[in-house]
Structure 1
């Protein structure tokens, strides 16, 4: 990707690749995500009276410190492991979160919520086949979980299995009709399948929900850009970015879609994470919210 580029040139190349990665996987990285932390899907659900999920990085750091101390005191403490790993994932400390969850599932192997968190963490770390298998065990046909289904969809999309991913999202929508995070993931999956008008329709419906957020709009900006509708894309981007940032985002999209490998870039996923200007809080969906 970089050959023998200078440092500034490497940064520019990475930035060009990064917007597609960051914007196109905004939903996939959240898996229908309600978590504002980042990573594949969120770690939702609770045991007892779980605290509301923090939003800012400072709040996540505080959560990490609190639950980390409790976990160090007793690594068999189920909630300590679960919420400490959640805070670590939100801060993109994916390897450390995975180590904690890997250990936790040895003790709490029948805990569906823990399995769901473990599956998302595996996906965060690029272990997609393992993530797919674990997420499949994180709920049952008798008690399906739309968040897990959405997380499974994001993993299937990253494996290039877009028809299966779309089936998973459609099943999740039967359990949670109109859920914008699922619809955002579905819209992005349709875009990855090059069904752009349908992707736009789904994303517009998701964006119209009063429960949607900037990440849904970011995906719609991408789909508009892929269709060459840059004026509309820039107007929408301005809802969450300054005029200068929105213009830079759209200028990047123009350059990217003119490249012969633009669809390969779209499908490459979030391996290069640099984001343009000031992004809204990162999506898992997941998430997998879900």
Structure 2
């Protein structure tokens, strides 16, 4: 049974992830897992591409042509950058949004997309700076705050990251993707009971997806609760695939360590619609 993991760069959050847990699952399933994108651009009433890299390439090519006709144009820049991010062409996406930010240095939407692209490309210090200017103090954006938290986690400031997640949860209570990031933050510091409880709450949401559940399976595996991890995986795959998935996670933990396993976990994006 193949599992399609959908990754949506158009929905905020730190999308620069190695996806090793997914890769491990794919390897254990004979390489059949599919990483796909599902965009929902909110800067123009455009038809979003369906899941699948071929559609994303076509989408990106189309917006690339529009961007080339008018570099720095807000709509073309944001949609082209989102397409580039879907194709993991992160440095190009950052360059596109850098040009847009020069032309619109106070546009919150542009700055938000620029900060996400910088985070994707690993330019964390600059991403941190840009994201602080991506929303006004009196109208905080929880989707940007989620990215800020992820950046702080990457930089090693876990207390700072959790403050962003906590403040964002005041705006969007019980949002599963915020809870997911918070749970992974706890896992990074080996606070596994807190990580499990937080990810269980996230997974219980009807809006949670396979990535949230896979992260819960990861944390349960870190705790040695392999049978429970398999039960969680069975929500999205067959019994054999669930066993193979947990086996791959265990091998990853053994070879890479806890922190590397958590940092490489599939972190979902957050909706901006």
Name the CA shift for 1:146/1:104 in 2 (closer, same or farther; >3 Å). Answer: same
Residue 78 of structure 2 corresponds to residue 77 of structure 1:
no
Give the secondary structure class of the aligned counterpart of 1:210. coil
Alpha-carbon distance in structure 2 between the residues aligned to 1:183 and 1:238: 21
- Give the C-alpha shift of residue 197 in structure 1: 1.2
Question: Does the CA contact (< 8 Å) of 1:37 and 1:89 recur in 2?
Answer: no
Map of 1:8 onto structure 2: none
Flag the structure with more relative contact order, 1 or 2, with Cα contacts below 8 A and sequence separation at least 6. 1
Question: Does the CA contact (< 8 Å) of 1:21 and 1:265 recur in 2?
Answer: no
Residue 244 of structure 2 corresponds to residue 248 of structure 1:
yes
Which residue among 120, 129, 133 is the counterpart of 1:133?
A: 129
Matches within 5 A, 1:50-89: 51-52=47-48, 54-89=50-85
Alpha-carbon distance in structure 1 between the residues aligned to 2:224 and 2:195: 14
Name the CA shift for 1:284/1:75 in 2 (closer, same or farther; >3 Å). Answer: farther
Instruction: For structure 1, list consecutive stretches of 5 or more residues without a partner in the other structure.
Output: 1-16, 24-35, 276-281
Map of 2:20 onto structure 1: 19
Name the CA shift for 1:103/1:154 in 2 (closer, same or farther; >3 Å). Answer: same
Matches within 5 A, 1:218-257: 218-257=214-253
Question: Does the CA contact (< 8 Å) of 2:253 and 2:261 recur in 1?
Answer: no
Alpha-carbon distance in structure 1 between the residues aligned to 2:42 and 2:225: 42
Residue 98 of structure 2 corresponds to residue 97 of structure 1:
no
- Counting matched residue pairs gives 244
Which residue among 119, 128, 138 is the counterpart of 1:123?
A: 119
Map of 1:184 onto structure 2: 180
Map of 1:13 onto structure 2: none
Alpha-carbon distance in structure 1 between the residues aligned to 2:72 and 2:249: 48
What per-residue deviation string (whole Å, max 9, x for no partner) do you get for residues 5-57 of structure 1? xxxxxxxxxxxx9735969xxxxxxxxxxxx749xxxx987335455575332
Name the CA shift for 1:71/1:243 in 2 (closer, same or farther; >3 Å). Answer: same
> TM-score by structure 1 length?
0.76
Name the CA shift for 1:254/1:227 in 2 (closer, same or farther; >3 Å). Answer: same
Map of 1:161 onto structure 2: 157
Alpha-carbon distance in structure 2 between the residues aligned to 1:78 and 1:144: 21
Question: Does the CA contact (< 8 Å) of 1:94 and 1:124 recur in 2?
Answer: yes
Which residue among 85, 94, 106 is the counterpart of 2:102?
A: 106
**Coordinate RMSD, CA, aligned:** 2.6
Between 216-225 and 234-243, the greater mean CA deviation after superposition: 234-243
Question: Does the CA contact (< 8 Å) of 1:45 and 1:113 recur in 2?
Answer: no
Give the secondary structure class of the aligned counterpart of 2:88. coil
> TM-score by structure 2 length?
0.80
